[in-house]
A and B are shown apart, each in its own frame.
Chain A
Amino acid sequence: MPIVAAQRPSKVVVLLNMGTGSALSSLVAKGDLVHKGQKIADPIGRFGVPSHSPVSGKVAAIGAVRTGLGTMDQAITIEPDGQDTLDESCVPVENADSLSPAEIVSIIREAGIVGMGGAQFPTHVKLTLPPNAKVDALLINGAECEPYLTADHRLMVERPEDVVRGTRILMKAIGVDRAVIGVEDNKPDAVEALQRAIASAAAAGTIDVVAVRTHYPQGSEKHLIKSVLGREVAPGCLPFSVGVVVNNVGTAVAVADRFDRGLPLIERVVTVTGSGVANPANIMMKVGTSAIELIEQCGGFVGDPGKIIFGGPMMGAAVPSAEAPTTRGTSGILVLDRAESRSFEPMPCIRCGRCVELCPMRLEPALLHQWSEARLWSEAEAYHALDCIECGVCSYECPSRRNLVQAIKYAKAEIGARRRAARERGDK
């Protein structure tokens, strides 16, 4: 499914709350005219990044909207004027090669670049390493985390030069001369395209493309590091503890867009697919376009939609409304028809051990579920609930259709809340 351009949206909704929970404050007011690429919101906390207008047009509203997660959040709604007038701040970086790592990181932050695999974790935070960290490699994640999604695949096939360009800038940002792009081995065309792009642009440092086994959750950061570099990140540690920084191919392309075209992160590829969509497609969309407009561009629904999922089928979130606005982390819009959306009645755990056998973190989901159900949070913590990467393999495999990962997520939230409460008590 080649990447196609999006039709002009009737409106875009820029959320003032990032996926990570940090809020932004608006720099514009209702009625303002904004340009495409103009900064319209600044983060309040350290972990945030600014937001930019994906279109030129008029600020129609600033106020609460219903997000894809079902929450009400503040957002800036912009009505496009159809001109796509580029803001004057959007100029390519001329002297990219002579910049210091800190300068590169700051440009990436200002461009609103976040992890585009789904979590929207700010890229500049990943690139800002503690002073004692010894990092020797950059890993670019081209494993395409979930079934159904092909957005990253198409980026690698259609824009390999930008993937390589962004990779080189990211290498410079963390001061390494080695990068590896990990691609699942069911995408030989992506491997080939990337290798050609690397060969055609000679530059300092080496970039390798490594084909890894196609096996969910290969796109999990820790598992890709293991597959590509043979290193295991210890529990509770970040990739830099084994000398690696990981970024998504989409993030690399966003970096290239900023440095070579002057564009902040206002567009991304989204895979619109599933049994409930007439003509599935990969669309280069304006961030903040509503799901329904993208689905309509794909010929609309087939039959009655059962579920609309932002992201993939394993980890994505079912949204309560087709009007939900997309974000910088929306890698897919998956529409399942009503038959595929049916829920299963959980049966008792028969202790078959499939979840234990298949858990990529080598946890014991069945027991974690038991602790979570009994609200034994300290037991859940002792059985390493916090190590869970929420990939969903346990629930997928469970023959008794138990909602294992859901129970573990619940335990993680409870353990986190208890830890925060304990810390606050300690502070006083």
Chain B
Amino acid sequence: MADSKLIVTPAPHIRGNIDTPSLMRDVVIALLPACLAGVYFFGGKALISLVAGVAGCVGAEFVFERMSKKPVTIGDWSAVVTGLLIAMVLPPHVPAWIVVLSGVFAIGIVKLLFGGLGYNVFNPALAGRAFATAAWSALAATGYIWPASAQGAAWARGIDAVTSATPLTLLKMGEIGGTSMSRFYMPLFLGNVAGSLGETSALALLIGAVYLLWRTHISLRIPMSYIITVAVVTALYGQDPLFHVLSGGLILGAFFMATDYVTSPINAKGQVIFGIGCGVLTALIRLFGGYPEGVAYSILIMNAAVPMIDRFARPKRFGEVKARA
């Protein structure tokens, strides 16, 4: 009888088209322009890094889930995202085995030990980077390199003595600064400077960001509040805000790391608070801290504040304003 085969499930009986794997795959697509820019500026070594990052993350997820007899979740693409991001936030000339181990740490410790996708407190890629820079600080520090095309360029004259220093390091050391910062705008925008593999080209990153915005996977709330805060604080301190916005990992961090769903606040108000917090911390580290760059630590610190932000920055429910009037 037909009846016995009728399916009874709760409403709603139709579902939307976007699922988590397709969402993660879109993030991978959005990261590709910046990955390509990294390979273009830093050569084949960058490509090896990207492959190493993905291999480390996907491999670790597969092996650890197999070992703990859990369902293998590499099909959801989230480990691929982490793998690309790890390579992108590390210097382009870091040995491949460091990238692999960073990926293993990010997935094994930061993601899976906390319960897997959706349960990790810290952004796995950034925690992986923090791990690498702490464990092999010298190696990581010598991994930066100026693209060959930059070394002969007129705007870079006088700074090529320090080959492994990023623009922010040069600023911190007082090598550059003062009034002539605008000569760096275009190279920073295009990515023709020293920096982490995937962070240098603002243009390539923004192309990917526009894709994510167009697909409605992210909103501008975190990136904008983050970037504007950095610009405002550095300007107040008398430094060039546009230089600060374009250099270091800010664009990459603001659009692709601070917006990581799992480790950012869940509602609009909280997201703006989170972005401002990241911005203040980044600016403070850059201006007063021991490191030239502070994007990674800012986001990691704010990750820890997310449960608290979620608890206190609550949306106003429908009709609530009127109720108090």
A positions within 8 Å CB-CB of B: 70, 147, 222, 231-235, 237, 242, 301, 304-309, 313-323, 334, 336, 340-341, 343-344, 347-354, 356-357, 360-364, 366-367, 384, 387, 390, 392, 395-401, 403, 405-406, 409
B265 to chain A, nearest CB (A): 8
| Known contacts A347-B20, A352-B261, A399-B20; is-contact A314 B12 (Cβ 8 Å) | yes
24 contacts between A and B (CB under 8 A): A70-B8, A147-B14, A232-B318, A234-B322, A237-B323, A242-B322, A301-B2, A305-B6, A313-B14, A316-B13, A318-B7, A322-B2, A347-B19, A348-B116, A350-B23, A350-B262, A351-B118, A362-B317, A362-B318, A364-B266, A364-B315, A367-B266, A387-B317, A399-B19
Complex CA distance for A231 and B9, rounded to whole angstroms: 35
Q: What B residues does A317 contact at CB under 8 A?
A: 11
Contact A348 B317 (CB under 8 A): no
A350 — which chain B residues lie within 8 A by C-beta? 20, 23, 78, 117-118, 261-262
B119: Cβ under 8 A from any A Cβ:
yes
Collect the chain A residues with CB atoms within 8 Å of residue B23's CB. Answer: 350, 352, 399
Which secondary structure dominates chain A's binding surface?
loop
Residue of B nearest to A391 (CB): B12
- What residues of A have a CB within 8 angstroms of the CB of B18 in the complex? 354, 397, 399
Once the chains bind, are A401 and B317 in contact (CB under 8 Å)? no
Asked if B157 is an interface residue, CB under 8 A from chain A, the answer is: no
Residues of B whose CB lies within 8 Å of any CB of A are: 2-3, 5-16, 18-20, 22-23, 76, 78, 116-119, 217, 219, 261-262, 264, 266-268, 271, 310, 314-323
Q: Give min CB distance, A170 to chain B, whole Å.
A: 24
Q: A313 touching B13 by the CB < 8 A rule?
A: yes
In the bound complex, CA of A341 to CA of B321 (Å): 40
Q: B118: shortest Cβ distance to chain A, in Å? A: 4
Residues of A within 8 A of B119 (CB): 348
Give the distance to chain B from A119, nearest Cβ to Cβ, in Å. 14
Query: B7 contacts which chain A residues (CB < 8 A)?
Result: 306-307, 318, 341, 343
- A306–chain B nearest beta-carbon distance, Å: 5
Q: Which residues of B contact A336 (CB under 8 A)?
A: 13
Q: Which B residue's beta carbon lies closest to that of A315?
A: B11
In the complex the two chains form, is B317's CB within 8 Å of A356's CB? no
Sort A-B residue pairs by CB-CB distance and give the 6 closest, nearest first: A392-B12, A348-B118, A234-B323, A234-B319, A352-B261, A406-B10
State in angstroms the CA–CA spacing of A354 and B317 once bound together.
16
| B11 & A400 in contact (Cβ 8 Å cutoff) | no
**A348-B117 in contact (CB<8A):** yes
Q: Say whether B319 contacts A237, CB under 8 Å.
A: yes
Q: A318-B13, A343-B7 are in contact. Are A353 and B319 (CB under 8 A)?
A: no
CA gap between A99 and B121 in the complex, in Å:
67
Question: In the complex, which residues of chain B have a beta carbon less than 8 angstroms from the beta carbon of A409?
Answer: 10
A406 to B10, CA, bound (A): 7
Residues of A within 8 A of B6 (CB): 305-308, 318-322
A281 to B22, CA, bound (A): 36
C-alpha spacing A358/B158, complex, angstroms: 53
Distance A304 CA – B262 CA, assembled complex (angstroms): 41
* Chain A CB within 10 A, most for which of B7, B11, B22, B76: B11
Query: How close is B23's CB to chain A, nearest CB, in angstroms?
Result: 5
CB-nearest residue of chain B to A274: B13
- Cα distance A403–B16 in the bound complex, in angstroms: 13
Residues in chain A near residue B2, CB distance under 8 A:
301, 304-305, 322
Q: Name the residue on B nearest A406 (C-beta).
A: B10
Contacts of A351 in B (CB 8 A): 118, 261-262, 264, 266
Contacts of B15 in A (CB 8 A): 344, 395-396, 398, 401
Q: A344-B15, A364-B267 known; A403 and B10 CB under 8 Å?
A: yes
CB distance from B297 to the nearest CB of A (A): 22
**Complex Cα–Cα for A296 and B19 (A):** 36
Tell me whether A304 and B118 are in contact in the complex, defined as CB-CB below 8 angstroms, given that A237-B319, A315-B11 are known contacts: no
Min CB distance B298 to A, Å, is: 20
- The reply to whether A235 and B317 contact each other, CB–CB distance below 8 Å, is yes
* A92, B315: Cα distance in complex, Å: 51
Cα of A323 to Cα of B11 in the assembled complex, Å: 20
By the criterion CB–CB under 8 Å, are B16 and A320 in contact? Answer: no
- Bound-complex Cα distance A348 to B316 (A): 26
Residues of A within 8 A of B310 (CB): 367
Contacts A352-B23, A363-B317 known; list 10 others, CB within 8 Å: A234-B320, A242-B322, A301-B2, A314-B13, A341-B7, A348-B118, A350-B262, A392-B11, A396-B14, A397-B18
List A contacts of B268 (CB < 8 A).
Answer: 356-357
Q: Which residues of B contact A353 (CB under 8 A)?
A: 261, 266-267, 271
Highest count of chain A CB atoms <10 Å: which of B2, B19, B76, B319: B319
State the Cβ distance, B252 to closest chain A Cβ, in Å.
20
Residue of A nearest to B317 (CB): A362
Nearest opposing residue in chain B for A320, CB measure:
B8
Chain B residue numbers with a CB within 8 Å of A357 are: 219, 268
List the B residue with the shortest CB-CB distance to A336.
Answer: B13
Cα A390 to Cα B10 in complex, Å, equals: 11
B12 and A387 within 8 A (CB) = no
The residue from B12, B14, B317 contacting A361, defined by CB atoms under 8 A apart: B317
For B116, list chain A residues within 8 Å (CB). Answer: 348
Q: Which residue in chain B gives the minimum CB-CB distance to A348?
A: B118
